Amino acid sequence: MTLKTLTMEWTGDCLILVDQRKLPHSKVFVHCKTFEEVAFAIKDMVVRGAPAIGVTAAFGYVLGAKQFDGKNDEFLEFMKKVRQTLASTRPTAVNLFWALDRMEKVLNESINLDRKSIIKRLEEEALKMAYEDIETNRSIGMHGQNLLKDNDTVLTHCNAGALATVDYGTAIGVIRAAVENGKKIRVFVDETRPYLQGARLTTWELVQLGIETILITDNMAGWVMKKGLVNAVIVGADRIAANGDVANKIGTYSLAVLAKKHGIPFYVAAPTSTIDLTIKDGTEIPIEERPHEEVTHVQGIRIAAEGVKVYNPAFDVTENELITAIITEKGIVKPPYSENLKKLFLR
């Protein structure tokens, strides 16, 4: 049972991840043979993007089960440690916890089987999750491309492409689907400080796809909107609350406010696994704060004065009233989100 995409490869005893810290300068692969190595890869952003993090954690869970070499009555306790280690890596992306819940459910349902059979079922579930993600993203793309017209220019933020998923992408998946359906689409890409996912990753993906791509600094977005150069903003999401508030890469909120000011539709593309109906609104979403060096340094080179204080939240929350529609694999959701997001789970 194997898997190979742009983002990851599963060989059966090793999860191989493209090191997104090294792109676009070099294509380096990180080989994870233990759940601890998978946890580090998530924490240190070797892999990033909510859907990709979830599936990566699922394979980390499988590796944990394979690592165990104790007595049978100690297995469940060991797997609790595996889950806790993986769950502690990135607190904002709900897909991480969604994936671990699925894996734990399979474990509990299989606990009376022999160890080999348990591991087989866990591996099957992780692979199922991976292939589901690819199909989900293609469905998001097909629904979302209906919102774009030929010759539209889209502005996007961070990286919500194939690298943020198992394959194809969410926000970038919408753009890809529009192009595949014969539409000419141009894309403005925010560089996305401080980690530069837009400049390093999204431009790399779009250029390879042959889509016209224009890189701008984050603080140019308002100006290009004012000049009438943008027809739509499309971003991904790391968690969507029950009322439609969206947590996404820091800077997303600013774009939503600017889009509202200039009368530009603001779309969020995300799988239903990113929707967290247990969270009432965006105030309940935990916001991860990243290391200060991400702001004071660029690729290891200091750009800020020694001794300066830093605030580095990785995400912000965009209120639902700023969001025109949420694009999912089950269709396009429009306000009122508190009612219409729930309906998705009844389909």
Last residue of a domain, one of 138, 166, 187: 138
Do 43 and 100 fall within a single domain?
Answer: yes
Helix (H, G, I), strand (E, B) or coil at 105: helix
Last residue of a domain, one of 106, 138, 170: 138
Last residue of a domain, one of 107, 138, 169: 138
Do 87 and 202 fall within a single domain?
Answer: no
10-14, 93-97, 240-244, 272-276, range with the lowest pLDDT: 93-97
Instruction: Give the mean model confidence (pLDDT) for residues 74-100.
Output: 94
The residues near 308 (Cβ < 8 Å, ≥ 6 apart) are 296
The residues near 46 (Cβ < 8 Å, ≥ 6 apart) are 17, 19, 20, 21, 30, 40
The predicted structure's pLDDT at residue 346: 87
Do 249 and 326 fall within a single domain?
Answer: yes
Do 124 and 206 fall within a single domain?
Answer: no
Task: Tell me whether residue 69 is one of the annotated catalytic residues.
Answer: no
The predicted structure's pLDDT at residue 189: 98
Q: Per the annotation, where are the binding residues for substrate?
A: 48-50, 90, 197, 248-249
CATH of the domain at 303: 3.40.50.10470
Do 15 and 128 fall within a single domain?
Answer: yes
The predicted structure's pLDDT at residue 93: 82
CATH of the domain at 134: 1.20.120.420
Do 33 and 72 fall within a single domain?
Answer: yes
Number of domains in the chain: 2
What burial class does residue 17 get, using C-beta atoms within 10 Å of its C-beta: 0-12 exposed, 13-18 middle, 19+ buried? buried
Q: What is the DSSP string of 18-49?
A: E-TTTTTT---EEEE-SHHHHHHHHHTTSS-S
Using an 8 Å Cβ cutoff, are 51 and 137 in contact?
yes
Do 87 and 153 fall within a single domain?
Answer: no
Q: H or E stretch including 54?
A: helix 50-67
Do 103 and 240 fall within a single domain?
Answer: no
Using an 8 Å Cβ cutoff, are 187 and 154 in contact?
yes
Do 184 and 328 fall within a single domain?
Answer: yes
Cα(148)–Cα(271) distance, integer angstroms? 19
Do 156 and 134 fall within a single domain?
Answer: no
CA 296 to chain centre: 25
pTM of the model: 0.93
Taking only the tens place, the pLDDT of each residue in 148-164 is 999 999 999 999 999 99
Do 309 and 187 fall within a single domain?
Answer: yes
Q: Which of 238, 245, 276, 316 is catalytic?
A: 238
- State in Å, rounded, how far the first CA of the chain is from the last one: 30
Q: Per the annotation, where are the binding residues?
A: 48-50, 90, 197, 248-249
Token pair belonging to 78: 């060991």
Instruction: Give the mean model confidence (pLDDT) for residues 232-250.
Output: 97
Taking only the tens place, the pLDDT of each residue in 177-216 is 999 999 999 999 999 999 999 999 999 999 999 999 999 9
Q: Which domain holds residue 61?
A: 3-138
Q: What is the DSSP letter of 281?
A: S
Average per-residue pLDDT in the chain? 96
Do 127 and 218 fall within a single domain?
Answer: no
